[in-house]
Structure 1
Amino acid sequence: MIYLILSILSSTTIFVVFKILSKYNVNTLQVIVVNYVIAFITGIALYDETINLNIINADWFIEAIALGFMFIAIFNVLALTAQKNGLSVASVASKMSVIIPILFGIVIYNESTGLQKLIGIILALIAVLLTSIKPKSDVVLTKSIYLPIILFLGSGIIDTSVNHFAPDGNKALFLAIIFGIAGIIGIIILSYKSIIAKDHFKLKSIPFGIILGIVNYASMHYILKALRVDGFESSSVFTINNVAIVAISTLIGLFLFKEHISVKNWLGIILALVSIGLVTL
């Protein structure tokens, strides 16, 4: 359980960092790219064996490269969805994608589907929906509807694939390669923007990127640790992890950033606590 708690806390910290970025008008893409580089360095630092060219023959190497491309691609889809369809649509699409790894665990891994667990999962999904929808949000469902669909599928596939392909003994290197590939692509994008669009890199993006990179790596590291604990099923882990992050992030938005929380949001938080209890017990 400690790994799951650390994953939830790390992921919630990511939310706090992004809120601070918007407050201080820091370039989000630049911070994201620095974050990938720092996460890559963290993974390499934690890998306690010698790295050699034999890793290209590892069963998970191609999958790690593909996931690196997906990381940066889905981030851009997230940004486009927020711009075209509104922040609430982007939030709901990315967070509701947890249903994909949940179903994968039940169908492919033959995980338990007791009535109490199923009720807990359904309540968790309702809780995510209720807490994600903000009052007076700029929701535009009819415009560029393909973007939230891609975001939903992409986010779910990433979570499922990271869990499915992560090796038992080389998780640090596996994650490092994913973040490294995403970082390389991000650097290319930033270079293009700097040369063509004259959107130059700002030094103030670095400290935020360092903080984000460390907690981002920690969130991935600990969720994989939690998924490997005996007796913990992936469908339960993903349910608890996702709904807890949403509920805690909403409360942090209220107390730390003075955000308004509607009755629906409060109902979502209550359902989140109930669903965690049902799935955990």
Structure 2
Amino acid sequence: MIYLLISILSSTAIFVVFKLFKKYEVNTLQGIVVNYFTAFLLGFLLYKGRIVPSEIIQTDWFIAAIMLGFLFIAIFNVMALTAQKNGLSVASVASKMSVIIPVVFGIVVFKESVGTQKILGIILALVAVYLTSVKQKGNIVLTQSIYLPVILFLGSGIIDTSINYFAPDDNIPLFSATIFAMAALIGVILLLVSLAQSKNKLKLISIPFGIALGLVNYCSIHFLLLALRVENTESSTLFTINHIAILALSTLIGLVLFKEDISKKNWIGIILALISIALVTLA
């Protein structure tokens, strides 16, 4: 469970770094690009074997890694658009509710166990996602640009499912690095277009914050994959625990560090999240 714990803490740290982006006026796109390059370099540094580009291209996971790199950038932009047009609450609910996709995939494709207690835990987890994500001041507008939260829901779920399905057991650092390398290349193109179309300039402060984001971003995926490769571990159980724990911990950190308001619904969501984790873990 140590791998899962590190992944949860790393994913929660991503939330903290993004909060600091806003506080210190870091350019989000610039920070994101630095983040992907950092994660890409970290993956290659952690890989202990000999790196031969021609051999990487011939692996059975290379095409999947390239597609995931595209998805990383695309879904990030969809998340931003969803937040702008439908509200932050809708974006949060859509992305977190997507956990149902890898959970169902694990049960159907991998023939993982399913029982009354586990199903109840998963249902409570989804209710917890909604209650914890919805803020008092957030206006939920599902009718406006309804396709955006749908795409965000499907895209986030496909990313989680694909990472688990295609990741090679013996080449996790290289697999992760390839995904981040593709995301970084696309990010550079977007950044160059953005700089050409606006008067924004490169901000040096984006570099240290981007590096910090890249470190925790890489760890969140690397250790999640390691947790999924532990013997007798079921992806449906692990993804449920991972998503719900991140959501609950992020909400509590928002309260303690950033003095965010937490409503009664949010507290009920946190309590249900803890109950769902216990039910799924002990199922």
Match of 2:26 in 1: 26
Match of 2:229 in 1: 228
Q: Is the 8 A contact 1:37 1:213 kept in 2?
A: yes
CA distance in 1, matches of 2:96, 2:22: 20
Code of the residue aligned with 1:240 in structure 2: it is I
Code of the residue aligned with 2:211 in structure 1: it is I
Q: Is the 8 A contact 1:127 1:268 kept in 2?
A: yes
| Aligned positions of 1:42-191 closer than 5 A | 42-52=42-52, 53-191=54-192
- Mind listing any 5+ residue stretches in structure 2 that lack a counterpart? none
Secondary structure of 1:199's counterpart equals coil
CA distance in 2, matches of 1:198, 1:48: 43
Pair 1:253-2:239 in alignment: no
Superposed displacement of residue 130, structure 1:
0.6
CA distance in 1, matches of 2:29, 2:61: 28
Match of 2:40 in 1: 40
Structure 1 length-normalised TM: 0.98
Code of the residue aligned with 2:235 in structure 1: it is S
CA distance in 2, matches of 1:228, 1:121: 21
Match of 2:10 in 1: 10
- Mind listing any 5+ residue stretches in structure 1 that lack a counterpart? none
Q: Is the 8 A contact 1:193 1:200 kept in 2?
A: no
Superposed displacement of residue 211, structure 1:
0.4
Code of the residue aligned with 1:223 in structure 2: it is L
Superposed displacement of residue 253, structure 1:
0.6
Superposed displacement of residue 49, structure 1:
1.1
Identity of aligned residues (%): 68
CA distance in 2, matches of 1:201, 1:28: 11
Superposed displacement of residue 135, structure 1:
0.7
Superposed displacement of residue 138, structure 1:
3.1
CA distance in 1, matches of 2:226, 2:166: 14
CA distance in 2, matches of 1:198, 1:183: 22
Q: Which moved more, 1:270-279 or 1:134-143?
A: 134-143
Secondary structure of 1:256's counterpart equals helix
Aligned residues: CA RMSD: 0.8
Superposed displacement of residue 139, structure 1:
2.4
CA distance in 1, matches of 2:32, 2:133: 22
Runs of 4+ residues deviating >4 angstroms: none
Secondary structure of 1:276's counterpart equals helix
The alignment of Structure 1 onto Structure 2 pairs a total of residues equal to 281
Secondary structure of 2:258's counterpart equals coil
Deviations 1:132-156 (A, max 9, x none): 1111113222111100000000000
CA distance in 1, matches of 2:226, 2:175: 13
Deviations 1:205-244 (A, max 9, x none): 1111000000000000010011111121000000000000
